[in-house]
Homo-oligomer: A and B are copies of this chain.
Amino acid sequence: MTLHALTPADEIQRRIARLQDAMKAHGMDAMLISDNANIYYTSGRVFSGYVYIPATGKATYFIRRPEGITDGEVKYIRKPEQIVELLSEEGASLPAVMGYELSSLDVMSYRRLVNAFPGVTPADASPVIKSVRSVKTDFELEQLRRSGIRHQRVYDLIPRLYKEGMTDIELQIEIERASRLEGCLGIFRIAGDSMEFFMSNILAGDNADSPTPYDFAMGGAGLDPSLPVGADGTVIKPGMSVMVDSNGNFTGYMTDMTRVFACGQLDEKALQAHECSIEICRSLEKAGKPGTPAAELYETAMSIVRNHDLERYFMGHKQKAGFIGHGVGIEINELPVIAPRSRDILTKHNVIALEPKFVIPGVGAVGVENTYIVTDNGLERITNAPERIINLM
């Protein structure tokens, strides 16, 4: 079994080098990574253990499980306390300042690591890693494009999956199956513990106006108070919109895409809001270039919404989301955040999802979501399913 699996060794080196540049700029002498998403980013596979990255020199992979990885700078350990000893056997000096993933590491694990490195000053590596990961390499862009193509194929199938009289969850289950047959990995990585989700979010009719605890753009009551989000068993009927926001994780890198379906014609207000969403996308595609403040994209979107007098429906009706887009990659909530008070500035090869959505009472949710690569010429769309509302009948 190889450490880097499907990711070329020079790609891993490129990522490590970027992290090292950022570490130096932030006064860190090393970082110790244990979050699965970051382990995948810095090695090419998920393993149980730690990646030790000095500001200069080679990364060392301290692996607990799985057994049998033989290549690369791999050392097997049973517990993190062995890392110090193994590093000193290598002749490596201990760092003065070590970065840990303070946004994802639990307190007990953190204390244990800090105790294992006596005399080493801990620092927060999470912002550094998030920032580096927000700028995708060519290899990562390729994974995202591949996900986008397969993601579109699933959306193309949806009209054939619908049968008259179906509930939202019955349609969702058929979309889940079609996704999985297309190669969707199913899991949906979200940084932090507080957001939960299963596979996709299908909202039919007024269920879109049910507020959710989670920090997603749209809500839905869900089927059980233990997971109060998404489909709630609503029977799909003419006049309702059916918004499909389905998992695009086909490669370990996720695209995010939303489309709207309906049985027959929707109310005029909903059609107008859907067109407004597409207009926002077209406008932001031009505006979104390296150097553009994320907050400016939000303001541009808001001014279009105001022009159409649709503020009260924008990003939710009873409960509103505070953002219209977010970075995406290994996780669904990466940088930059497209929100009014965001300080993020768009950078070349950021990958962002934009989701200007509306909830129209009596109809449901409308609007599209696309995933984009930030390029010198604006945003390159990599989720290319048709954007118009598709009739299921």
Contacts and interface: CB of A to CB of B under 8 A. Distances in A.
- Chain A's interface size range is 35 or more
A35 to B, nearest CB: 7
Interface stretch (A150-158, A221-229, A257-265, A352-360): A221-229
Given A6-B225, A211-B67, A225-B5, A180 B187 contact: no
Interface in A245-270: 251-252
Number of this chain's copies in the assembly equals 2
Interface stretch (A52-60, A188-196, A341-349): A188-196
Contacts of A49: 213
Contacts of A1: 211
Given A48-B215, A180-B176, A319 B107 contact: no
Interface string A82-121: 0000000000000000001011111110100000000000
A252 B224 contact: yes
Interface in A30-60: 34-36, 40, 44-49
Contacts of A180: 169, 173, 176
Interface string A172-207: 011011001101011100001110111100000000
Q: Which of A193, A225, A226 has the most CB of B within 10 A?
A: A226
A234 interface: no
A68 interface: yes
Given A48-B215, A214-B65, A193 B196 contact: no
Given A46-B227, A65-B319, A68-B319, 19 more contacts: A1-B211, A5-B225, A44-B225, A45-B228, A64-B213, A65-B213, A65-B214, A65-B215, A66-B219, A68-B318, A105-B106, A106-B107, A108-B126, A176-B176, A176-B180, A185-B223, A186-B198, A193-B193, A225-B252
